[in-house]
Amino acid sequence: MRNRPQREEALAFLRAELAAGRSTTTELTTRAAWRAWVRFAQQRFDAAPTPDSDGLLFQYGTYSFSGRPMFTLDLTRQFDVNDDDGEHGHFVQVHCELRYEPEPALDALGSFSSWFFHDTDEDLDQWFAAMEGHLEVLLDRRPSEIDLYEEPE
Report which listed range, 26-40, 41-55, 128-142, is most confident: 128-142
* pLDDT above 60 (res 23): no
114-148 burial: b if 16+ Cβ within 10 Å, else e: eebbbeeeeeeeebbeebeeebeebeebebeebee
Is omega for the bond preceding 143 within 30 degrees of 0, making it cis? Answer: no
Structure confidence at residue 47 (pLDDT)? 85
H helices of the chain, where? Answer: 10-19, 30-42, 104-107, 124-133
User: For position 28, what pLDDT does the model report?
Assistant: 86
* Rounded CA separation 151/119 (Å): 23
Q: Report the range of poorest mean pLDDT among 74-88, 99-113, 121-135.
A: 74-88
Res 37 pLDDT > 80: yes
Q: How confident is the model at residue 25 (pLDDT cuts 50, 70, 90)?
A: very low
Which pTM was predicted?
0.90
